[in-house]
Structure 1
Amino acid sequence: MNLDDYRGVWVFIEQNDCKIEGVSLELLGEGRKLADKLQVPLAGFLLGHKVKPLASHVISYGADEVYVIDQPILKDYRTESYMQGVMLLARQYKPEIILYGATPNGKDLASAVATDLSTGLTADTTMLDVDVSNRLLEASRPAFGGNIMATILCKKHRPQMATVRPKVMKALDPDTGRLGRIIEEKIDLIEEDMRTKVLQIVNDVTKKASLAEAHVIVCGGKGMGDLQNFQLVHELAETIGASVGGTRDVVEAGWLPHEQQVGQTGETVTPKIYFAIGISGAIQHIVGMKNSEFIIAINKDPNAPIFDVATYGIVGDAMEIVPKLIDQFKQVKTEKGGEISYA
């Protein structure tokens, strides 16, 4: 393999029912930085049926080029058909970096492509950079239970690939006047060749709103002491109309279900306001909430790492501070007619 034959940064543009997933737009923002450092084009690749009109949207979010395979056989995601499409593009155009969202489909596709291309794949990346002199993707993620950050390199194979969790990166503001190139390709595949068929897609209408979509989150850690004290987190959240989250230790202790865990092995969140109460600030947790707009930390340890990312920090006993906050918010609600605005 001649590594010099591979150039360009690519992003898998995941879409469902012709609607682009937010993580793909976030990756275009991060991919733009990497491509500029390497002085190469940024490309999105888009597979599906009746998806070509989405290409201009991809360009407006930072792509210089969009590779499109628009065929009926790609209407619904299947590993086999999508993998063949990506393999065709990757072998023909030879990108040096490919980024995927760490969604169920994105992780499935990335692992299948990595296997067929005999290249490396870093999963659940939280930071990306490039070593320009060696043209190496530096894909970093927490390791050893979140105690360290590991930077993983793929030195001998191309393309270099990584999956990135939603809400970790930030999308660029769209520029509708931006121009780019659209390249159309086709795969030689018919329905009779497929080993799997989509018989029906059932949407789970009972599924609760994801913590990742919450605008205000009150998150508690083991510093709350016990389940009884943790009720203060629930009370504060109820008072201000927020969602409740917890650290991995809290979930493992049985104080909250897993779907309310914030962190590398839970949800990645970007609310307007994030209360971190009794949370020391392990890397595993930080990567799941560091992009919140305002972070308010309460911890009795003045040297707790959580204060390094906090917008505002309160040093003290949460069991004394949180009840006072609840009282103050209740007073504000009374003065405001029962509502608190976060505009």
Structure 2
Amino acid sequence: MGEVLVLVDCADGVVGRSAMELLTLARRIGKPSAVVLGAGEAATGIAAKVGEYGAAKVYVADGAEFADYLVVPKVDALTQIARTVNAEAVLVTSGAEGKEVAARVALRLGSGIITDAIDVQAGEEGPLATQSVFTASFQVTSRVVTGVPVITVRPNALAPEPAPGAGTVEQVQVAFSALAPGTRVVARTPRVPSGRPELTEAAIVVSGGRGVGAREGFAVVEELADSLGAAVGASRAAVDAGWYPHSSQVGQTGKEVSPQLYIANGISGAIQHRAGMQTSKTIVAVNKDPEAPVFELADFGVVGDLFEVLPQLTTAIRTRSGHATG
């Protein structure tokens, strides 16, 4: 089996859960090798972490280009490494940047690409990727038939499983292309920390929709999310109304999530929203309208006023977890 390259998603020296998931999948189809780009001094700690999840080799490339310019330096590095090691496959986390990097790498390698996979398995003629399509109405299994398979995988596709690997670090000198400095980062605004997990990587997501009635209505949604250690999501209707930021929108024109538990509150369940959360493992819906479409896909449903249901649920959770307040 050849090397399967995993582009490691990390921030401030912390390896994202999605990278551990990709390494778990990579072990099914070949020998996992991690690719760490622009991590600086944190690369050593990152290499140790990915080694815990099976990375036999860790290709490390550094340079100001990774921070100063968008996308292309990562494409240059990943393409160069894939060609040098004659990679068996390339796995990247699905997301806005991840899918752009993957598409550009596939184009340069003359390879096929599969995006938004929810599973990857070994096949007789190459890796087999499973996708959830047509707003999660069907699942299809396909494989790349030309070149090195490039596959992007949705976060939370599976539970990451540790498996010790050598984690041998190999430094890589990247020959950046003339396109690399084409788009420069001129300013950065730090995100205000919410204390909640990243939406696309969260194991639990609590979302609010038109039924919350106003920005202030999200308070009960946030309180429930905080009691569960969950991320907060919002429907397109709530975002369009200005009640919650677009960065939290779940749906076809927002983010796609696949948590272990998704709690939809005051959300009708229109097709646009379903496209972004229907692959969640367990779905709970709270809505006053017993005919709301969301109940068609919910595993558990509560017909009731979310402003009555959610505070009771939050209190019960905090009581059971020993964090009840007076």
Tell me the TM-score normalized by structure 1: 0.68
Give, in angstroms, the shift of residue 113 of structure 1: 1.0
Contact 2:33 2:57 in 1 (8 A): yes
Contact 1:219 1:244 in 2 (8 A): yes
Residues 1:91 and 2:91 aligned together: no
Give, in angstroms, the shift of residue 101 of structure 1: 1.6
Which residue number corresponds to residue 42 of structure 1?
32
Give the distance between the partners of 2:17 and 2:248, measured in 1 at CA.
21
The residue correspondences of 1:1-343 to structure 2 (distance < 5 A) are 7-32=2-27, 34-35=28-29, 40-48=30-38, 49-50=40-41, 51-63=43-55, 65-72=56-63, 76=67, 78=69, 79-123=71-115, 125-130=116-121, 132-143=123-134, 146=135, 148-149=137-138, 151=140, 153-172=142-161, 174=162, 178-180=164-166, 182=168, 184=170, 186-187=172-173, 189=175, 195-196=181-182, 202-206=188-192, 212=199, 217-220=205-208, 224=211, 228=213, 234=218, 236-237=220-221, 240=224, 242=226, 245-248=233-236, 251=239, 257-263=245-251, 265-268=253-256, 274-277=262-265, 278-280=267-269, 283-287=274-278, 290-291=280-281, 295-298=283-286, 300=290, 304-307=295-298, 310=299, 313-314=300-301, 317-319=303-305, 322-325=306-309, 328=312, 340=324
Give, in angstroms, the shift of residue 244 of structure 1: 5.3
Give, in angstroms, the shift of residue 127 of structure 1: 0.9
Q: Secondary structure at the match of 1:76?
A: helix
List alignment gaps of at least 5 residues for structure 1.
Answer: 1-5
Identical residues among aligned pairs (%): 20
Task: Compare 247-256 and 257-266 and name the one that shifted more.
Answer: 247-256
Task: Compare 15-24 and 247-256 and name the one that shifted more.
Answer: 247-256
Q: Secondary structure at the match of 1:119?
A: coil
Give the distance between the partners of 1:53 and 1:333, measured in 2 at CA.
36
Give, in angstroms, the shift of residue 100 of structure 1: 0.7
Q: RMSD between aligned alpha carbons?
A: 4.5
Q: Secondary structure at the match of 2:50?
A: helix
Contact 1:275 1:297 in 2 (8 A): yes
Give the distance between the partners of 2:197 and 2:52, measured in 1 at CA.
28
List alignment gaps of at least 5 residues for structure 2.
Answer: none
Report the CA distance shift for 1:265/1:94 in structure 2 as closer, same or farther (over 3 A): farther
Q: Deviations over 1:14-33 (max 9, x none)?
A: 3345443332223223333x
Contact 2:208 2:264 in 1 (8 A): yes
Partner letter of residue 263 of structure 2? Answer: F
Q: Secondary structure at the match of 1:237?
A: helix
Tell me the TM-score normalized by structure 2: 0.71
Contact 1:23 1:101 in 2 (8 A): yes
Give, in angstroms, the shift of residue 98 of structure 1: 1.1
Partner letter of residue 175 of structure 2? Answer: L
Q: Secondary structure at the match of 1:92?
A: helix
Counting matched residue pairs gives: 309
Give the distance between the partners of 1:55 and 1:25, measured in 2 at CA.
12
Give the distance between the partners of 1:302 and 1:205, measured in 2 at CA.
35
Give, in angstroms, the shift of residue 136 of structure 1: 3.7
Give, in angstroms, the shift of residue 128 of structure 1: 1.8
Q: Deviations over 1:238-285 (max 9, x none)?
A: 664657533346556777553332245434557786432455586514
Report the CA distance shift for 1:120/1:248 in structure 2 as closer, same or farther (over 3 A): farther
Report the CA distance shift for 1:179/1:23 in structure 2 as closer, same or farther (over 3 A): closer
Q: Secondary structure at the match of 1:45?
A: strand
Give the distance between the partners of 1:265 and 1:52, measured in 2 at CA.
37
Q: Deviations over 1:109-167 (max 9, x none)?
A: 222211111112233x1412336233242241433xx2634636344212111223434
Which residue number corresponds to residue 3 of structure 1?
none
Higher alpha-carbon Rg: 1
Partner letter of residue 188 of structure 2? Answer: V
Contact 1:130 1:137 in 2 (8 A): yes
Task: Compare 188-197 and 200-209 and name the one that shifted more.
Answer: 188-197
Contact 2:126 2:143 in 1 (8 A): no
